[in-house]
Chains A and B, each alone.
Chain A
Amino acid sequence: MSAADIAAIFQGAIVTITLSAIGILIGLPIGLGLALIRWADVPVLGRIVALYVSMLRATPLVTLLLLLFFALPNIGVPMSPVSAAILGLVMSTSAFNCEVWRSALMNFPKDQYEAAQSVGMNAGQRFRRIVLPQIVPVSLPGLVNEMSLLIKVTPVLAVVGVVDITRAAVRIGAQTYEPLPPFLVAIAIYVPIVFALVSLQRWIERRQTRAEALA
């Protein structure tokens, strides 16, 4: 395995990280938005969101990607591999995130919310100042879990032609007839990425406990 091969795997790592980061950053707020629509029980929209979420959670990501990449151009929506990958990741992760946010919202104490209403906070203030700061720490473990699942599922993006870490490793293995080294490199890259994510979560949680302990 040459230096160029290793460089190719790192190239794949950049693709994996970039697409994952985009999926996470867009999927988080969309998931929250969907959860809020369901929480507020918005008449028709709430039902639509519930249906959307349960369908997406049941759809394998590979199937979703193939649908986006091959079927959408058929009805006149042009789709590049990267846009299909991003759209697929965002749709899927936002559905799972929605459920994490929603369970935190459902468990939010009603009287705390009413207390915010009773002092005249409007809906935006109630959410920003009272609800959000409390549901973030509650949702964080579930969200980080979903984030690392998302990173680990990125190899399926290969079905639409995106060259990520794993795809790059497969190619090199096929060329050199030595699959072991490229796959070891691939794993050596995945582990620190997910580890970094989990460390971030631990750090945030520690900061919270410390803030509470100081009180």
Chain B
Amino acid sequence: MAETNKVLDVAGVSKRFGANEVLSDVSLQVDKGETVCVLGPSGSGKSTLLRCINWLERPDAGQIYLNGERVGINNAGIVMGDRDLSKIRTRIGMVFQHFALWPHLTVLQNLMEAPVQVQRRPKAEVRDEALALLAKVGLSEKCDAFPARLSGGQKQRVGVARALAMRPDLLLFDEPTSALDPELVGEVLVVMRELAHEGMTMVIVTHEMAFARDAATRVLFLDRGKAVETGSPEKFFSNPETERARQFIQRYAGDVAGGRR
């Protein structure tokens, strides 16, 4: 692994909410073009890990680097102010469990908002790129619709396109299909698979085991806030190192074996 290829470096991150230690000394390196699926039972700290990466949650300890640049702490070792933090967040896209589209803006406006307002790119260029992204996620005809008119699967595809419109170096997915009706999960996973194929660097928190097995380049298994295991999906699913992982996989065995999605 060449040092220059490393997009994300999470080094020993810990986070507690009150007496509850949600993450304890979790580390994760992600190379350019990797798709890392973060797996684990509910409450294992997966979402918190993701939210610490872009500092929506402030880690109590540990460091996070994006392309070698420290996230959240500036060169003087002080916690970044809103402006510095905002700047670095423009390079980390995030897709939310409940889509989090802005309902007062049309689909196209949702995509254009940040590139125009934050990156100050020319409107015409952003518009063309946004339309291309909507075409890519199969929603060209919905560009002038408001989010309330979309199905869950369509909303989430817009959510992905909105994140991509910023041309991020890294894309974070926080259980992107958990809030969807089962028949709508597939259309979102198709888009994610395509991104993985194109070499987008992604960290995906998910319960879609079949997707993790097929699309991930690597799997990180969290349990009770600890990074228990990491490795290729083939190895993780067929021959896990730990008893906890084995139990976890067994519970989802039907899902994987069936390869339903």
Q: How far is the CB of B56 from chain A (nearest CB, A)?
A: 5
Interface stretch (choices B9-17, B111-119, B129-137, B209-217)? B111-119
In the complex, B149 has a CB within 8 A of chain A:
yes
From B54, B102, B106, residue with most partner A Cβ within 10 Å:
B102
From A109, A114, A115, residue with most partner B Cβ within 10 Å:
A115
Q: Contact size class for A?
A: 20 to 34
In the complex, A122 has a CB within 8 A of chain B:
yes
In the complex, chain A residues 79-129 whose Cβ is within 8 Å of any chain B Cβ: 109, 111-112, 114-123, 125, 129
Q: How far is the CB of B216 from chain A (nearest CB, A)?
A: 22
Chain A residues positioned under 8 Å from B149 (CB to CB) = 215
In the complex, B207 has a CB within 8 A of chain A:
no
Cβ–Cβ contact B162 & A119, under 8 A: yes
Which residues of B come within 8 Å of A, CB atoms? 54, 56, 82-83, 86-94, 96-98, 100-104, 106, 113-114, 117-119, 144-146, 148-149, 162-163, 166
Q: How far is the CB of A176 from chain B (nearest CB, A)?
A: 55
Chain A residues positioned under 8 Å from B104 (CB to CB) = 133-134
| Closest chain A residue, CB of each to CB of B119 | A120
Chain A residues positioned under 8 Å from B119 (CB to CB) = 120
CA of A115 to CA of B114 in the docked complex: distance in angstroms? 10
From A119, A122, A133, residue with most partner B Cβ within 10 Å:
A119
CA of A130 to CA of B114 in the docked complex: distance in angstroms? 11
Cβ–Cβ contact A121 & B100, under 8 A: no
Contacts known (A130-B102, A133-B104); A111 close to B86, Cβ less than 8 A: no
Cβ–Cβ contact B146 & A215, under 8 A: yes
Chain B residues positioned under 8 Å from A212 (CB to CB) = 146, 148
| Closest chain A residue, CB of each to CB of B114 | A119
| Closest chain B residue, CB of each to CB of A132 | B104
Contacts known (A119-B163, A215-B149); A111 close to B118, Cβ less than 8 A: no
Per-residue interface assignment for chain A, residues 127 to 167, with 1 indicating a CB less than 8 Å from any chain B CB and 0 otherwise = 00110011000000000000000000000000000000000
Q: How far is the CB of B46 from chain A (nearest CB, A)?
A: 16
Cβ–Cβ contact A114 & B118, under 8 A: no
Q: How far is the CB of B31 from chain A (nearest CB, A)?
A: 22
Cβ–Cβ contact A215 & B86, under 8 A: no
CA of A123 to CA of B83 in the docked complex: distance in angstroms? 8
| Closest chain A residue, CB of each to CB of B165 | A119
Cβ–Cβ contact A118 & B93, under 8 A: yes
Cβ–Cβ contact A112 & B82, under 8 A: no
From B88, B97, B98, residue with most partner A Cβ within 10 Å:
B98
Cβ–Cβ contact B82 & A123, under 8 A: yes
| Closest chain B residue, CB of each to CB of A215 | B146
Cβ–Cβ contact B89 & A117, under 8 A: yes
Cβ–Cβ contact B166 & A112, under 8 A: no
Cβ–Cβ contact B54 & A118, under 8 A: yes
Cβ–Cβ contact A120 & B86, under 8 A: yes
CA of A116 to CA of B166 in the docked complex: distance in angstroms? 12
Cβ–Cβ contact A121 & B96, under 8 A: no
Cβ–Cβ contact B114 & A120, under 8 A: yes
Cβ–Cβ contact A121 & B56, under 8 A: no
